[in-house]
Amino acid sequence: MDILIKNGRVIDPVNKIDRVTGVLISEDRIVKIGNLSEVKTSGEKPKIIDAKNKVVIPGIIDIHTHLREPGHEEEETIATGTRSAAVGGVTSIFCMPNTHPVIDNQTAVEFILLKAKNEGIVNVFPVGAITKGLSGEDLTEIGELKKAGVVSISDDGNPVMDALVMRRALEYAKMFDLSVIAHCEDKNLSEDGVMNESYTSTLLGLRGIPNESEDVMVARDIILSALTGGHLHIAHVSTKGSVELIRQAKRNKIPVSCEACPHHFTLTDEMVKTYDTNTKVNPPLRTEEDVREIIKGLQDGTIDCIASDHAPHTEEEKNKEYDLAPFGIVGLETLLPLTITYLVKTKKLSLMAAITKLTSNPKKIFKLDSGTLTPGSKADITIIDINVERVIKDFVSKSKNSPFLGKKLQGFAVMTIVNGKIIMDNGKILSD
């Protein structure tokens, strides 16, 4: 059945649309953006969705999630992770290859795609590993990974410490028209750090990870991108220094893009004083000054995308001493409300700019079919209520490791449509 979304404020950055109008969907495609009176449907009456006082946007693309399947299904599976996405208004996710086994070969990619087809409810785009087993040593068969269906390559969770390996990765990725997503961290400088290196880490007696551990690798990878011409996408930017390096690189026309995660523009390392292990992420929460610079980077276009770095861990794993707990927090269900609450409601970013970083920039950087409402494109749509307030109480994700539990946020998805099918309505998953 056709679907007609009426009376909503339709925002589509690709077509520079921001007005109250209708969107008509037929099967899995967007047919038309326009007023109801102009719209003729194909015989059968369409299902009407009244989006009055709501915002209708291209489905959100989260370019950074960890689904944990295969290997750590107790933390998340493709089934639960994609349901968590649907509730968060996310219609497409990139899943990182640090699973067990690692997504470093064709069979592993095929496994993800098959599982996603059978058990997932949003689009799943696998990211293949740069090096076999994420060892940082031997490159994967990048052409084979591309043929199998990866959208990018990354050793996320681990840096590629060897500069020659990174150089070759950028060269091969360029040959196969892929970008390299870099986890920029100098492991030697991080040592065994568990939080940001700062006055707070000294006070708490916890080992610190200095900003420079990220900055030196961002600088190195920018230099290698300039050398090779390979497209570099820097994951989870957390420091003032990185933002400035990327700004300069863009001025110099080096092919670099990047993302920031909500926890890095909303929280600081002061939060670690609670010893709550849900403040333990990699890269770590930084200082007020870093947060300010990340926001400036989002404002001036240095930071292209907002991504969740959804990293589920079980309560047993997180319920340990700070030193021993794993890094990572869940983020698919808070990606949109944190962006709305901390950037849009505070007038730091316009709604159009925020939606651009969640939809059309990921589309552009990774050359995806989704991410726009242009007629003829895939009918992936998120309908949001930017005024609704809610206290974060629980998650659909299998894991609950979030520092935002108990926080009141504003701006949530009320409907998620994937491939022309309504899969979430008012927080309820409809496909089950």
Nearer to ligand DOR, 66 or 398 (CB): 66
Question: How far apart are CB 180 and ligand DOR at their closest, in Å?
Answer: 15
Nearer to ligand DOR, 54 or 263 (CB): 263
Site residues (CB under 6 A) for ligand DOR, limited to 44-83: 66
CA dihedral 86, 91, 96, 97 (to 10 degrees): 90
Q: Which residue is nearest to ligand DOR (CB)?
A: 328
Other beta carbons less than 10 A from residue 255's beta carbon: 18
Is 399 an interacting residue with respect to ligand DOR (CB under 6 A)? no
Phi, psi at residue 366, to the nearest 5°?
-105, 10
Question: Pattern of binders to ligand DOR over 198-237, x per CB under 6 A?
Answer: ----------------------------------------
Q: Which stretch binds ligand DOR (CB under 6 A): 86-94, 322-330, 378-386, 418-426?
A: 322-330
User: Considering only residues 46, 255, 328, 371, which one is a binding residue for ligand DOR as defined by CB under 6 A?
Assistant: 328
CA distances from 213 to 44, 121, 217, 284, 417 (A): 60, 38, 7, 11, 40
User: Considering only residues 327, 407, 410, 425, which one is a binding residue for ligand DOR as defined by CB under 6 A?
Assistant: 327
Question: How far apart are CB 228 and ligand DOR at their closest, in Å?
Answer: 24
Question: How far apart are CB 101 and ligand DOR at their closest, in Å?
Answer: 15
Q: Which stretch binds ligand DOR (CB under 6 A): 196-204, 259-267, 325-333, 338-346?
A: 325-333
Nearer to ligand DOR, 96 or 178 (CB): 96
| CA 25, chain centre distance (Å) | 26
Which amino acid would we find at residue 374?
A: T
Is 311 an interacting residue with respect to ligand DOR (CB under 6 A)? yes
Q: Where are the alpha helices (DSSP H) in 350-416?
A: 351-355, 361-366
Q: What is d(CA 125, CA 115) in angstroms, rounded to the nearest whole number? A: 12
Pairing of the two strands 90-95 and 60-65: parallel
Q: Which stretch binds ligand DOR (CB under 6 A): 141-149, 192-200, 320-328, 385-393?
A: 320-328
What angle do helix axes 163-175 and 211-228 make, rounded to 10 degrees? 50
Pairing of the two strands 381-391 and 152-154: unpaired
Buried b (16+ CB within 10 A) or exposed e, 311-325: bbbbeebbeeebeeb
Q: Which stretch binds ligand DOR (CB under 6 A): 1-9, 263-271, 326-334, 363-371?
A: 326-334
Nearer to ligand DOR, 7 or 308 (CB): 308
Site residues (CB under 6 A) for ligand DOR, limited to 83-102: 98
Q: Active-site positions?
A: 309
Is 157 an interacting residue with respect to ligand DOR (CB under 6 A)? yes
Nearer to ligand DOR, 97 or 420 (CB): 97
Please count the residues of this chain forming the interface with ligand DOR, following the rule CB under 6 A: 11
Phi, psi at residue 176, to the nearest 5°?
-100, 15
Which letter does DSSP use for residue 245 in this model? H
Q: Tokens 């340990």 label which residue?
A: 320
Is 281 an interacting residue with respect to ligand DOR (CB under 6 A)? yes
CA distances from 374 to 9, 41, 364, 365, 419 (A): 15, 17, 14, 17, 14
User: Considering only residues 198, 266, 282, 402, which one is a binding residue for ligand DOR as defined by CB under 6 A?
Assistant: 282
Other beta carbons less than 10 A from residue 231's beta carbon: 21
Is 156 an interacting residue with respect to ligand DOR (CB under 6 A)? yes
Q: Where are the alpha helices (DSSP H) in 6-152?
A: 78-87, 106-119, 142-148
Q: Would you say 139 and 110 are in contact if contact means Cβ atoms under 8 Å apart?
A: no
Nearer to ligand DOR, 7 or 98 (CB): 98
Query: Interface residues with ligand DOR (CB under 6 A)?
Result: 66, 98, 156-157, 183, 281-282, 311, 326-328
